[in-house]
Structure 1
Amino acid sequence: MELKPIHQSVAALDVHQAKLTVCILVQSEAGETQCEIKEFGGFKRDRRAMAEWVSSFNPEVVVMESTGIYWKSPYAALEKVGIDALVVNARHVKNVPGRKTDIADAHWLAILARAGLLRGGFVPPQDLRELRLISRQMQKFGSILRAEKNRMHKILTDGGIRLAAVVSDIHGKSARAMIKGLLEGQTPQQVLSYADKRLKASEEELLNALDGELSPAHYFAVSQLMEHIEYLERQIALFLDHLLSGLRDQQPLLQALQTIPGIDEPGAAMLLVEIGFDMDAFGRADKLASWAGLCPANNESAGKRKAGKKRKGNAYLRRILCEIAQAAAKTRSGLADKFKGINARRGRKRAIVALAHKILKIVFSMIKTGDYYRDAKVDYEALQVERNAPRWIKKLIKYGYIPKPA
């Protein structure tokens, strides 16, 4: 079957690290198809020359494969000359086995694009792409920080320090101060003064937990880990400040997203830079969920629906949403009830993914409408009264509206 062309002129790029293969298909007035193929290098001057060459043909459609991160700089070069290219999934344009070359790939891309068979993925605008770099690096720092904290806990346990058995977080203010005191050579009795009075553990329990057998190797390893942990925390704070400053114009939307249980300010900021502010780019909430890789694939045969594995999507967005779902599952809200219902039937992992899917659909609706989240289970009026009633009563008594209690 011959593919019927619907575009007169198209351009297709086969992208590699140090090589760009470009194919131009142009239909003349006589109905003949002219094919132009040219190869460029991967450096800045080559990308600029490629963009100018493609622009000279004035193509209706320009497509390229999403090859790793190599497509980003050619895409930016095309953007500078006013071309919005379509970035397509490589799985959708797979060539015939045994006939794979760079020129053949570019030509096949052009044929499919000319027939209107390719659909581009979501590419955020330039400012959001730059903020994505900040957000994703911050997530990487967070992963390293968690690993370093776990490592320090193991080394302390190896040295006989059982502080994690009596405090909920050994990296809290009191626990960290006590560990630093031990590293400075203080005795367990001396570092006990750093313990906050709100700790549930008794002094005897804390003394027993702090009494270990730390060797010089333990002291060295823990002190180096402590320095690295504090460095990572400072870096994360710097990256977060930069991220929030870049989203200063979106403060109302950031505050609205924080009304969803489980979402704090960093989580709302990371969500926005991944999905953007224009939900028309996705069309529907289910398409956004599919793009994020949070819904199962269709697997039906002979009228029977079978279990389908979820597709690969935006891994960064999926991680953020799963962390939000973990936090929302511990709240008193309708989202927590949904988690409990699915957890009882399908297990925790499936329940977390299902809850993340629901939260993403809520986020889609909130960004599209500009509204805030209202939970069906929460009585907001009663909650406001519960929080403010003691203060109101004190003021009413102070100004004589209510008699003082006997």
Structure 2
Amino acid sequence: MARKRSQQRFELVHPHCAGIDIGSREHWVAVDRKHEKPVRSFHTFTDDLVNLADWLAALKIEVVAMEATGVYWIPLFELLDSRGFKVYLVNSRSTRQISGRKSDVLDCQWIWQLMSHGLLRGAFRPADAICSVRALVRQRATKVRDQAQALNRLQKALSQMNIQLANVISDISGVTGMRILRAIINGERDPQTLAQLMDRRIKADKETIARSLHGNWRLEHLHALEQEIECYDFLEQQIQACDKAISRALAQLPEREEAPQPSRKVLRSPHRSAADQTELHQAVWRVMGVDLTAIPTIGVDTALVIASEIGPDLSRFPTGQHFCSWLGLAPPTRISGGRQLAGSSPKVLNRAAQALKQAASNARNDKSFIGASHRARLTRMDTSCAIKATAHQIARLIYAMLTKGQPYVEQGIEAFEERSKDRQLRALLRKARKLGMDLVKVA
């Protein structure tokens, strides 16, 4: 008689779990087959979501896994999280079905099966109060981007009128530019009169500005100019409203440490006054417990983005390597046959990483340890790789500051040069030993 082969099975990690396939009109939920009718569908109305949560609670479900599908998961996630369920928001790449087996029922059952055996990892999501700040900061970033587009359309209208003001002054959205543009909208056409509106800080003379204001005042271009200025002003009001809402949301967060007065001047912002910028700096400092702007190239806006995206609690990440990997800044680990495989790492869309890369790109002319490190990287690698490596360095500093509560200490360019000299000396010693020679230090 043939001996039966022992079948190795996956370990059951979450016996009381559910898998949800998210949709725009209905959600499909799968639980263990021992329950009656283990697969059910619920519409996306609020009362249906409440019924879904009540059904899971009646079955004593503890863990719920769902795909991050658009923004449709947010209402259900927030409801289940408030009801005490441990909700895993998983990447759709981790739940890909077998080819030819695709339906809502099979998808939710497949998510449940993977989750029950502990084969899915939940995405990082900060605390609910931090998520409120994050939504406001993202909304502000959208308005700033829309305002930049309105400014581009405004510039297009000026170019069609052959008004060369942008070639004379550095910023047409500044004091001088907006004075002249508003005067044009109000009916002023004399270039000499318009040139009198220039600010004393403008380097160009009045004659040059007057020459740049000779153009054709066609009706359609003036109409486009007027509408874009109105759009620009409206978006400026919305940005200020977002700033007020962000300040109120930050004031409701628990304070980790009382922020002292800054010892150095805070970088100015085009949309905030100096007082508002300092107040925002203090609020972010109190919420995070450390001063992120002490790191060179990180301004208040960058610190606000980082605070809203990750929050002060990084206990979800065991080490700094895990944190950098979540940001998408860690080097790829594609190894086969003991060798590193060629190719780029998977693309990760992370707003905190984008802010860190922007800060890293500003380190080229910074007179600090990070700036010297970035310039050294630029000499031996591509610009994009150097920016990513410098952002990785800044991310490790942020992780150490938030987990250990230690302030940033600037080492200076001298420390980098001394470390670089020691590294070069060790390389020369290794090369000399390889050639059978010794180096002798000359006094």
TM-score > 0.5, shorter chain as reference = yes
CA deviation after TM superposition for structure 1 residue 149, in Å: 1.4
Q: Give the aligned partner of residue 125 of structure 1.
A: 127
Q: Distance in 1 between matches of 2:413 and 2:189?
A: 49
Comparing 250-259 and 185-194, the one that deviates more? 250-259
What does residue 195 of structure 2 align with? 192
Contact 1:160 1:214 in 2 (8 A): no
Letter in 2 for 1:198: R
Which residue of structure 1 aligns with residue 76 of structure 2? 74
1:26 to partner: Cα distance:
7.2
1:378 Cα shift? 6.6
Query: Separation in 2 of the partners of 1:350 and 1:183?
Result: 47
Consecutive unaligned residues of structure 1, counting only runs of 5 or more, are 28-32, 380-406
Distance 1:351 1:209 in 2: 41
Counterparts of 1:62 and 1:161, CA distance in 2: 60
Which residue number in structure 1 is paired with residue 396 of structure 2? 361
Aligned-pair identity in percent equals 28
Q: Does 1:2 align with 2:9?
A: yes
1:306 corresponds to which of 318, 338, 341: 341
CA RMSD between the two structures: 2.4
* Equivalent runs, 1:87-126 vs 2, <5 Å: 87-126=89-128
Cα deviation for residue 247 of structure 1 reads: 1.4
Of 291, 313, 329, 1:256 maps to 291
Rounded Cα–Cα distance in structure 1 between residues aligned with 2:365 and 2:216: 37
Please give the alpha-carbon distance, in whole angstroms, between the structure 1 residues aligned to 2:217 and 2:400.
Answer: 55
The answer (yes or no) to whether the contact 1:243–1:269 under 8 Å persists in 2 is: no
1:238 corresponds to which residue?
241
Match of 1:175 in 2: 177
Aligned residues: 374
Q: What is the aligned partner in structure 2 of residue 322 from structure 1?
A: 357
Query: What is the CA-CA distance between 1:283 and the residue it aligns to?
Result: 2.3
User: What amino acid maps onto 1:275 in structure 2?
Assistant: I
Partners in 2 of 1:296 and 1:214 — Cα distance? 55
Q: Distance in 2 between matches of 1:105 and 1:347?
A: 42
Structure 2 partner of 1:342: 377
- Contact 1:20–1:39 (Cα < 8 Å) also in 2: yes
Cα deviation digits, residues 193-212 of structure 1 (max 9, x gap): 22222222222322222233
Q: What code does the residue aligned with 1:310 have?
A: S
**How far apart, CA to CA, are the structure 1 residues paired with 2:406 and 2:102?**
50
Residue 45 of structure 1, CA deviation: 0.8
Question: How many angstroms apart in 2 are the aligned matches of 1:239 and 1:156?
Answer: 30
Shift of 1:34: 8.0
Give the aligned partner of residue 15 of structure 1: 22
Q: What is residue 232 of structure 2 aligned with on the other side?
A: 229
38-47 or 302-311: bigger deviation: 302-311
Native 8 Å contact 2:194 2:210 kept in 1: no
- Counterparts of 1:34 and 1:96, CA distance in 2: 26
Q: Distance in 2 between matches of 1:151 and 1:264?
A: 29
| 2-structure distance, mates of 1:277, 1:137 | 21
- Alignment partner of 1:227: what SS? helix
Change (3 A) 1:345 1:182: farther
- Scaled by the length of structure 2, the TM-score of the pair is 0.77
Q: Which position in structure 2 is the counterpart of 1:333? A: 368
Q: Which amino acid aligns with 1:192?
A: A
With normalisation by structure 1, the TM-score equals 0.84
Q: Which moved more, 1:329-338 or 1:53-62?
A: 329-338
CA apart distance, 1:49: 0.6
Question: What residue is the counterpart of 1:377 in the other structure?
Answer: 412
Asked whether the 8 Å contact 1:88–1:120 carries over to 2, the reply is yes
Query: Structure 2 vs 1, CA of residues 73 and 258 (structure 1 numbering), >3 Å: closer, same or farther?
Result: same
Contact kept, 8 Å, 1:16 with 1:67, in 2: the verdict is: yes
Deviations 1:268-312 (CA, angstroms, capped at 9, x unpaired): 222111112211112222222222223343223333323442333
Q: Which stretch has the larger CA shift, 340-349 or 88-97?
A: 340-349
C-alpha distance 146-298 of structure 1, shift in aligned 2 (>3 A): same
Note if contact 1:290-1:313 (Cα within 8 Å) is conserved in structure 2: no
User: Gaps (5+ residues) in structure 2?
Assistant: 1-7, 256-282, 415-443
For residues 11-57 of structure 1, the C-alpha deviation after alignment (integer angstroms, 9 at most, x for no partner) is: 22121112122122277xxxxx9882222111111111111111122
Aligned residue number for residue 280 of structure 1: 315
Question: For residues 198 and 143 of structure 1, what CA distance do their matches in structure 2 show?
Answer: 27
**Aligned residue for 1:209?**
212
1: CA distance between counterparts of 2:348 and 2:211? 49
Contact in 1 for aligned 2:374/2:387 (Cα 8 Å): yes
Report if the CA contact (8 A) 2:157-2:222 is conserved: no
Three-state SS of the structure 2 residue aligned to 1:213 is coil
- Does the CA-based 8 Å contact 1:16-1:70 persist in structure 2? yes
Q: Is the 8 A contact 1:19 1:39 kept in 2?
A: yes
Q: Which amino acid aligns with 2:19?
A: A
Report deviation, 1:225: 0.9
Which residue in the other structure is 1:397 paired with?
Answer: none
Moved more, 40-49 or 366-375: 366-375
CA contact under 8 A between 2:195 and 2:207: conserved in structure 1? no
Question: What is the rounded CA distance, in whole Å, between the counterparts of 1:153 and 1:7 in structure 2?
Answer: 59
Q: How many Å separate the matches in 2 of 1:256 and 1:55? A: 43
Letter in 2 for 1:223: E
The alpha carbon displacement at 1:327 in A equals 3.3
How far off is 1:336 after superposition?
2.5
Distance 1:278 1:308 in 2: 33
Structure 1 residues 150 and 343 mapped into 2: Cα distance closer, same or farther (>3 Å)?
Answer: farther
1:217 maps to a residue whose letter is E
**1:25·1:34 contact (CA, 8 Å) conserved in 2?**
no
SS at match of 1:246: helix
